[in-house]
Structure formats: structure tokens, C-alpha cells
Amino acid sequence: MTLVFVHGAGCTPEVFVEQLSDFPDARAIALPGHGAPGSETTVDGFTDAVAGAIDAGGWNDVVLCGHSMGGAIAIELAIRAHPAVRAVVAIGSGSRLRVNEELLAGLAGDFDATSRRIAAWLFAEPTPQRVEYSTRMMARVGPAQTLADFAACNAFDATDRLGSIALPFLAIAGDADVMTPPKYARLLGDRIPGAQVRILRGAGHLAMLERPAEANAALRAFVTTLF
């Protein structure tokens, strides 16, 4: 079994630092334009890249854990029934990830101010250190790719295809997530046969970073039921 983590929009694999520490055999994929060569502008394109990374790594019995846009990628790979993927965990994600048009315009017109606004929305408790951390991460990804990420999220909608997923599935959400509220996790639980849902108290959009002990416990409990 291999835990494989996929980050979200405007992020890099560093958001999984607490998971990689707790699960030492896990892997985290850097998406194109986020520390890996190239660039992508659609969830389908990112999904192709993740499928290629799994194949290149020779990983089997993969538990694919995606955050936000990474969760959308994990959902797409589950729908495609990639043979190496045996289970999926979606963190702060959903089958539809609409983005406010004002936010997209802000990323295009005033990236610095808008990225700082987004950074504050990623946490239940947006301390200055957390906001600075996320703002710097988006700056490293850069304006063009970050805008492309959020536009890809806005175009994504797999709701009508969720019923075709035939894999163990866990949806984790923070109860204070304003980017992707818990109702999206509950919809995954309603539409995917046998899916489980865990809502973490006191957590925002980056639940696995803000409440790592609770997120890791949920992951471990889920994984122990699989193999």
C-alpha cells in the first residue's frame, strides 16, 4: 500500500508536511507548474499528470489523497478506475469547485492582494504566520499558474459521475472551511456508494495542516480497513 498525496490550487506538496512525517512511506506529487516541469490548465490535464507519476513510480495499491483541486484529481482518477488506485481520500474538496468570478478577476488584476485574501480564508484561525506561509507558497507557484488552478477548479464538475466510483472513499472536511464548506464532503458521502465522511472541528480549508493529529487519525483509521 502506498499513500500518495496531491496538493491543491496555488499550493505545493509542502502542505502535507505533517502527513509525510507521520506516514514515512508516503509520497507527495508536485503538479506541473508547482515544482514539477510544465504547466496545466484543466483538472483533466492534471489528472493525466498524476496518472503518469503513479505509473512512473511503479506504485501499487495506491490510496490517493487529494486536497481541494487535488481531491478533484483523485475523484477523476477514481472515475477512470486507474488500476493502481485502490482507495481515495478527498480533503477539503468536492465534486464541484466553483470559484467566485470576483476572485478570479482579483488574481488576474491584483495577485498580491488577492492571494493574501485567499491565504486568510484557508484557516479557521488565520494567524499572521499562517497567512504569510500560504501567501509565500502562492507567490512561488506564481500568478499565472495560480490563476490557471482556480480557473480549472471553477470549470470542474463531476457530480453526475460520482455514482460510477467503485472504490473505498473517505471525504474529510474542516467544519470552518469557507472555501469548500462541509456540505461538499457530505454530498460526496451521499453520492458515492459506501463513502465515509469525517468533519474535523476547528479546521479550515487546509485541515490536514491546521489539525494534523485529527486528520492523520482519520486517515489511519480509514487505511486500516482497506488491506
Cα 53-57-61 angle, rounded to 5 deg: 95
**What integer pLDDT is reported at residue 223 of this predicted model?**
96
Which single residue is written with the C-alpha cell 472513499? 169
CA distances from 24 to 3, 27, 43, 52, 102 (A): 10, 8, 28, 22, 40
Spatial separation of the C-alpha atoms in residues 190 and 68, rounded to whole Å? 18
Stated pTM of the model: 0.97
Find out whether 94 and 185 touch, Cβ atoms under 8 Å: yes
Question: Is the pLDDT at 75 greater than 90, yes or no?
Answer: yes
Count other C-beta atoms under 10 Å from residue 82's C-beta: 19
Q: Averaged over 164-187, what is the pLDDT?
A: 98
Question: Is the pLDDT at 122 greater than 90, yes or no?
Answer: yes
Instruction: State percent of the chain over pLDDT 70.
Output: 100
SS3 of residue 67 by DSSP: strand
Instruction: State percent of the chain over pLDDT 90.
Output: 99
**What integer pLDDT is reported at residue 14 of this predicted model?**
97
Question: Is the pLDDT at 110 greater than 90, yes or no?
Answer: yes
Q: DSSP letter at 82?
A: -
Domains of the chain and CATH, by start: 2-98+156-224 (3.40.50.1820)
Mean pLDDT (the chain) is 97
**What integer pLDDT is reported at residue 132 of this predicted model?**
97
**What integer pLDDT is reported at residue 227 of this predicted model?**
73
pLDDT, tens only, 186-203: 999 999 999 999 999 999
Q: Averaged over 132-137, what is the pLDDT?
A: 97
What is the separation of C-alpha 20 from the centre of its chain, rounded to a whole number of angstroms? 15
